[in-house]
Amino acid sequence: MSELSTTSPCYGMSFGKKEHEFLRDIGLEPQNLGCYVNGAWQGNGPVISSVNPADNQIIAEVAEASIGDYEEGMQACARAAKIWMQIPAPKRGEIVRQIGDALRTKLHHLGRLVSLEMGKILAEGIGEVQEIIDMCDFAVGLSRQLNGSVIPSERPNHMMLEMWNPLGIVGVITAFNFPCAVLGWNACIALVCGNAVVWKGAPTTPLITIAMTKIIAGVFEKNKLPGALFTAFCGGAEIGQAIAKDPRIPLVSFTGSSKVGLAVQQTVNQRYGKCLLELSGNNAIIIMDDANIELAVPSVLFAAVGTAGQRCTTCRRLLLHESIYQKVLDRLLDVYKQVKIGNPLEKGTLLGPLHTRASKENFVNGIEIIKSQGGKILSGGSVPESEGNFVQPTIVEISPTADVVKEELFGPVLYVMKFKTLKEAIEINNSVPQGLSSSIFTRRPEIIFTWIGPHGSDCGIVNVNIPTNGAEIGGAFGGEKATGGGREAGSDSWKQYMRRSTCTINYGIELPLAQGINFG
């Protein structure tokens, strides 16, 4: 087992702060084991530090998974999966209901942890945990509605039907920006569908991985079910690659960049597995000349500045009709001046830090690239003096054809551009490689239905008069093109977590063949 130091900077320091006392209430210590394997905690990989992005101080240490830990965990998980798939779906739903209730009792503590370790403001941290609770509620109802179809047969005394069965094990690899909500989208559905879950959390948010796993594991333990049904690893690329290569995992859900997602997909495809990809976004809001500006401006602010621009659904491009361009821009510049930057746990803060020092460096480098490609900084664009990873919310006037506009700069940078016609706006919206979220502000029905129709937005999320971010769990979440094509959470996303069989049953005494074939 990896050695956890009692002389490290985090030992007793961060946990000695009054504002961090809540960490022990959710099962965290200055030193933590980062693998939940076969119902027990261990960790034989490297020891890493969890860092608070608001001041870059160490919160706690975590012993990550080794490949040995991974293999031990997978063997136990494969055994447990055979037990779980035999339990009736409504009974599985009851376990997920209990997980939701357990999360409710720790909602505010877990929300504070998300804010502390990831850097998003407290309201968003609590909202992220609430999203998992909502997914639990959704999954409980779903557990009684995993319905197949009965299909009329062309042959007498025959019946066709669809059967849905569990895949076995679902692998979930999540990213730092939503360190637990994306787990909820996948795990809640996977569990009621009869699958065991293997989770690799983001390497930079290990405490969230541990705290969430302890709560979920407690529910399985209380119900005398194998702990291996929910196997969790803190770790880096080595563990992620092991999941992608593992033929025991029929479905891998991956959230991250398009570049890494493509590599994961290729690896999983080589073994004929299935992928659910939630990758990069480059989302646009279009404001038409008839738009309700009082509605549009705060929507843009939330979409562009929320989570410090680190949502996959963050608004990165703002398209303004030429007749209202300056009016909307002036209003937006005014509200940007009022954005409070600071500690995400403090009341009134709207913009917390970027997640890592590297993120801040990427922001600085990105601003220079923007300038070199003709971008004009209208607001922000610099880094405040701070121990943390804070940057200024930034508005840039730039051509939609600039190369930098086609890429996803993961921070609070908003590209503003003008258009003349709806057709031009839609072409700009669709001109980037990514296709996650989009929104238009208008009051005209003909524009709305063009926008959501075949000649409208090519994104997986197509909104009207709301921001690009803040999706509800009831709909299927995901995007097209370089966003990966995956769909998670609501609607009929559950079908991806199950194996469909078409069954034809002959209950007669003759053997008529399909298509009227007479074979001898």
Catalytic residues: 278
Cα dihedral sign, 101-107-109-111: positive
Q: What is the largest CA-CA distance in the chain?
A: 86
Q: How many CB atoms lie within 10 A of CB 238?
A: 14
Closest by CA to 189, choosing from 83, 102, 93, is 93
Phi and psi at residue 129, to the nearest 5°: -65, -40
Tokens 């939701």 belong to residue: 100
Pairing of strands 394-397, 413-419: parallel
DSSP 109-167: HHHHHHHHHH---HHHHHHHHHHHHHHHHHHHHHTT-----EE--SSTTEEEEEEEEE-
CB proximity list for 148: less than 8 A, separation 6 or greater:
161, 162, 163, 164, 500
Gyration radius of the chain's alpha carbons: 25
Tokens 């971008």 belong to residue: 375
Instruction: Look up residue 427 and give its two tokens.
Output: 């072409």
